[in-house]
Amino acid sequence: MQTITSVEAYDQAIKDGVTVMLFSAEWCPDCRFIEPFMPEVEEAFKPHLTMYKVDRDQLLELCQELNVFGIPSFIAYRKGKEIMRFVSKERKTREQIETFLNRVVQVSQALEQYSQD
């Protein structure tokens, strides 16, 4: 998963297609918990969306602007606009993350179809 290291890179990454940002930090135990299976999850969803990682500590002002206070957090974008979030205080499981990503794909496809009508 490519890491976003600047606000400019973040703005560029969310600009086109369907993008999911994973906000995390090195010191976060729940972030470390999901690390081992995230490459497989990312690969499974590659045909439908692009995933990036944002280190909360490196881009703290951006996280504050986006109201990302708990980590890990996921925010999904379609053509630069936020369409969904997955934020909770509880540790996220692989199943929960995959369910969220499936919903992102469904919502994105519905929005695409709606915009063509």
The tens digit of pLDDT for each residue in 6-64 reads 999 999 999 999 999 999 999 999 999 999 999 999 999 999 999 999 999 999 999 99
The residues, ordered by sequence, that sit 6+ positions from 22 with a Cβ below 8 Å of its Cβ are 1, 38, 51, 52, 53, 54, 72, 73, 74
CB 34 within 8 A of CB 25: no
Q: What value does the mean pLDDT take over residues 74-86?
A: 96
CB 20 within 8 A of CB 104: yes
pLDDT digits (tens, 9 = 90+) for 87-116: 987 899 999 999 999 999 999 999 988 776
Which residue is catalytic, options 31, 34, 54, 101?
Answer: 31
Which helix (H) or strand (E) is 110 found in, with range?
helix 94-116
Band of pLDDT at residue 117, cut at 50, 70 and 90: low
- Please give the pLDDT value at position 88: 80
Residue 31 appears among annotated catalytic residues: yes
Query: Domains in the chain, start-ordered, CATH in brackets?
Result: 2-116 (3.40.30.10)
Considering the candidates 1, 28, 105, 107, report the single residue annotated as catalytic: 28
Is residue 63 annotated as part of the catalytic site, yes or no?
no
